[in-house]
Amino acid sequence: MIAAMTIPPWHCIDTVLLDMDGTLLDLHFDDHFWQHHLPRRYAERFGIPLEQARRHLQVRFDRERGTLNWYCLDYWSRELGLAVERLKHEVAHLIRIHPGVIPFLRAAGAAGKRRVLVTNAHWAALDLKLAHTALQRHLDHIVVSHDLGLPKEDPRLWRRLRSVVPYQPERTLLVDDSEAVLDSARRYGIRHLLTLHRPSSRGPRREGLRYPAIDGFEQLLPITPSAADEAGHAADDEDGQHR
């Protein structure tokens, strides 16, 4: 069943969990790296035709997809005999924030929502992207699934996340471009789930999605505080008047 897009019930949401690649950031960088740049460097390293390199890598990628190994740059460096982290720096100019993301994050913060980046990305990849985007300035927490020992595709990850960032699943919104991750979060009990029609600016618009989808984060505005947030703001204002 295809769900229709509606503005989230912000009065019922305290925490916003956000994916990075394909959600806050344009997936074109990662698509280009794994589908084009890495195969080309692999072909050069081992002196084989590019198409042969692509076929060989695709088999290996498919074997690890959805596991922590798939996201681990150290793993691929060992397996492929290439300095994968260094190769990512060669195309870092392609790293981009999706339009509308920064205004959304600012509005969420102003409305008292806790903004938590939860990513499967390896720490080295995360550091590279933060250096190019400064996303950390607009987030309250950053959690890397490698530190929790499970990928987001595993429902147990969401329980472990609560030991790092306490949250109520029924009052949480997750935005992620992966339906496998959204399935995992739904099985755990996270109530509000959204995905994106176009994770990559160069890719086709995805249709027939099983979760409500947005074309851009501006569709989620305006963000209104919850009753608890409003009470907190009022208490702050009253406290300020007594100083």
pLDDT > 90 in the chain, percent? 88
Average pLDDT over residues 13-27: 98
- Using CA atoms, how far residue 69 sits from 79, 123, 144, 199, in Å, is 10, 13, 14, 22
2 part of a folded domain: no
Q: What total number of domains does the chain contain?
A: 2
Quick one: 158 and 232 in the same domain? yes
Q: Are residues 148 and 209 in the same domain?
A: yes
Tens of pLDDT along 145-187?
A: 999 999 999 999 999 999 999 999 999 999 999 999 999 999 9
Residues forming beta bridges with residue 117, ordered by sequence position:
18, 142
For residue 1, being part of any structural domain is answered with no
Interval 8-35 mean pLDDT: 97
Does the residue 84 lie in any domain? yes
Average pLDDT over residues 84-105: 98
In a domain, 3, yes or no: no
- Is 4 a member of any domain? no
Domain that holds residue 63: 28-93
For 166-205, give one letter per residue: b (16+ CB within 10 A) or e.
Answer: ebebebbbbbbbbbebbebbbebebbbbbbbbbbbeeeee
Tens digit of pLDDT for each residue in 185-231? 999 999 999 999 999 999 999 999 999 999 999 999 999 897 665 55
For residue 131, the SS3 value is: helix
Say if residues 114 and 16 touch (Cβ distance below 8 Å). yes
Are 76 and 101 contained in the same domain? no
Does one domain contain both 222 and 236?
A: yes
Contact between residue 143 and residue 119 where contact means Cβ atoms under 8 Å apart: yes
Last residue of a domain, one of 39, 64, 93: 93
> Crossing angle of helices 38-46/50-64, nearest 10°?
120
Examine the domain organization and report whether 173 and 106 are in the same domain.
yes
Across-strand partners of 143? 118
Among 81-85, 201-205, 238-242, whose mean pLDDT is lowest? 238-242
218 in any annotated domain? yes
212 in a structural domain? yes
Q: What angle is formed at CA 162 by the lines to CA 158 and CA 164, rounded to 5 degrees?
A: 115
